Amino acid sequence: MQINKKRLWETIERINQIGNDPLYPERGNTRLSLSKEDLLAREFLIELMKAAGLSVKIDAVGNIIGRLEGNNQKAPVVMTGSHIDTVYDGGKFDGTLGVLGAIEAVRRLKELEIQLEHPIEVVSFTDEEGTRFGTGYIGSRAVAGELKLSTLELKDDSGITLYEALKKAGLEPEKFKECKREKKELKAFIEMHIEQGKVLEEKNLSVGVVTHIQGPVWLQVEVIGSADHAGATPMHMRKDASLAMAEMMLAVEQIAKTYDGVGTVGKLHIEPGGVNIIPGRAKFSVDVRHVDLKKRTEMIEELHLLLKKISQKRGVLVKIEVNKEVDPAKCSPALVQSIVDTCGELKIPTMTLPCGAGHDSLMMTKITEMAMIFVRSKGGISHNPLEWSSIEDCAAGTEVLFQTLYKLAK
């Protein structure tokens, strides 16, 4: 094994201590983008990249980019990386393994003084999850030239805009267009990530190679009824926003099952929020995904119709906003085959498989050849403090990444 398994594991343990209360080790990570925890973890990452001998650059929206020069500085860049921001009460490996594993792989290429033609860049993308500002892939959108000015105006639950949070972190969001990388500048993007599913575990494999990635659609639904007295208002006279929301939530589930896709309502909000007030307003998020783009479009269309029908039946208004709509992506077949071959050479049994979660790779595929290396997740659990991957599996994935980067950059 070329990579330093012990050092890799130490960096994973270290980043997972940052911003967490040692009194509650069972709690997950809540490292929302540009939060104090995220800024502390960013500092750790910058130091780690420097210790690995990479030159470090931070772009206008906070993407942290560590670069290892090749013999030909003009050769297209081999890029790898992922994210370190998390969901609420999230896991220890989602995103972080892809960044820390990439740093370890590139550090070993440098330590072994392996001659490379192409430069390699390790990137930690800003705000992949979208937990704080409701959309996600911010850093990778900027690199792919897909970030819109309006996205910077999205607010978190306390009313702070993404723009303000970036400024407060000392960044220059007004220059977000400068983050874009041209196709000709890049050779490939490889993302290592935990599977967050159960397939590798069922097949008893440490490593998988992704064939294609599902694309998410996120809606923000607002229901406007009328607040009224909980005791004095007969049931037939109510415009109860929360009961309308409840019926709409079940509609999400029904459509997901009908189309054999997935539909999730993860965030709810009711106003005014008193025990004895009939809710006048309700807001909820919808996350819809399907491996087939046409079916996903049909799901969204049918959902719009159903929500309208429920709102009319209940005498409330409904407003539906699309916060995120990302096309599914096919990984580069040539890169997939090369990674499968590498696993064979390393005698690491593997398989190809689709990916249900969304990743920065969905953005990077717009400007370069893309592929993903999966590492087994215990019980397939993720977005949960119990998320776990073993040191052996993390090392196996990182070894495959090491060889893949070497083959691409030599």
Q: How many whole angstroms separate alpha carbon 38 and alpha carbon 204?
A: 34
**Closest to ligand HGY by CB, 19 or 215:** 215
Q: How many CB atoms are located within 10 Å of the residue 51 CB?
A: 11
Q: Which does 222 bind (CB under 5 to 8 A by kind): ligand HGY, Mn ion, none?
A: none
**Total of chain residues touching Mn ion, rule CB under 5 A:** 3
Q: How many CB atoms are located within 10 Å of the residue 334 CB?
A: 11
Encoded one letter per residue, x for contact with Mn ion by CB under 5 A and - for no contact, window 52-71 reads --------------------
Kindly tell me which residue out of 95, 139, 197, 208 binds Mn ion, with binding defined by CB under 5 A: 95
**Closest to Mn ion by CB, 59 or 129:** 129
**Closest to ligand HGY by CB, 140 or 332:** 140
Q: In the range 3-32, which residues lie near Mn ion by CB under 5 A? A: none
Q: Is 46 helix (H, G, I), strand (E, B) or coil?
A: helix
Q: Which does 117 bind (CB under 5 to 8 A by kind): ligand HGY, Mn ion, none?
A: Mn ion
User: CB–CB of 205/350 below 8 Å?
Assistant: yes
**Closest to Mn ion by CB, 201 or 247:** 201
Position of minimal CB gap to Mn ion? 95
Is residue 358 within the footprint of ligand HGY (CB under 6 A)?
Answer: yes
User: CB–CB of 311/245 below 8 Å?
Assistant: no
Q: How many CB atoms are located within 10 Å of the residue 346 CB?
A: 17
Q: Which does 358 bind (CB under 5 to 8 A by kind): Mn ion, ligand HGY, none?
A: ligand HGY
Is residue 191 within the footprint of ligand HGY (CB under 6 A)?
Answer: no
Q: Which does 85 bind (CB under 5 to 8 A by kind): Mn ion, ligand HGY, none?
A: none
Q: In the range 21-40, which residues lie near ligand HGY by CB under 6 A? A: none
DSSP 128-179: SS-TTTSS--HHHHHHHT---GGGGG-B-TTS-BHHHHHHHTT--GGGGGGG
Is residue 360 within the footprint of ligand HGY (CB under 6 A)?
Answer: no
Q: How many whole angstroms separate alpha carbon 181 and alpha carbon 186?
A: 8
Sequence-distant (≥ 6) Cβ neighbours of residue 138 within 8 angstroms = 33, 61, 125, 126, 127, 128, 130, 147, 151, 162
CA nearest neighbour of 187 among 341, 370, 60: 370
**Total of chain residues touching ligand HGY, rule CB under 6 A:** 6
Q: How many CB atoms are located within 10 Å of the residue 56 CB?
A: 16
In whole angstroms, the minimum distance from the beta carbon of 409 to Mn ion comes to 7
Q: In the range 207-226, which residues lie near ligand HGY by CB under 6 A? A: 216
In whole angstroms, the minimum distance from the beta carbon of 94 to Mn ion comes to 4
Query: Element (H or E) spanning 281, and its range?
Result: strand 281-290
Q: How many whole angstroms separate alpha carbon 110 and alpha carbon 404?
A: 15
User: CB–CB of 332/212 below 8 Å?
Assistant: no
In whole angstroms, the minimum distance from the beta carbon of 228 to ligand HGY comes to 37
Is residue 357 within the footprint of ligand HGY (CB under 6 A)?
Answer: yes
Query: Element (H or E) spanning 339, and its range?
Result: helix 333-345
In whole angstroms, the minimum distance from the beta carbon of 284 to ligand HGY comes to 17
Residue with tokens 């896991």: 91
Q: In the range 98-117, which residues lie near Mn ion by CB under 5 A? A: 117
Q: Is 124 helix (H, G, I), strand (E, B) or coil?
A: strand
In whole angstroms, the minimum distance from the beta carbon of 114 to ligand HGY comes to 33
Q: How many whole angstroms separate alpha carbon 285 and alpha carbon 66?
A: 35
Q: How many whole angstroms separate alpha carbon 369 and alpha carbon 367?
A: 7
Residues making up the annotated binding site are: 83, 94, 129, 193, 383
**Candidate ranges 23-31, 37-45, 128-136, 312-320; the one touching ligand HGY (CB under 6 A):** 128-136
**Closest to Mn ion by CB, 95 or 216:** 95
In whole angstroms, the minimum distance from the beta carbon of 137 to ligand HGY comes to 8
DSSP-based helix, strand, coil % in the chain, nearest 5: 40, 25, 40
Is residue 94 within the footprint of Mn ion (CB under 5 A)?
Answer: yes
Is residue 129 within the footprint of ligand HGY (CB under 6 A)?
Answer: yes
Residues making up the annotated binding site for Zn(2+) are: 83, 94, 129, 193, 383
In whole angstroms, the minimum distance from the beta carbon of 319 to ligand HGY comes to 23
Is residue 128 within the footprint of ligand HGY (CB under 6 A)?
Answer: yes
Structure tokens given for 27:
């709690």
Residues that bind ligand HGY (CB under 6 A): 128-129, 136, 216, 357-358
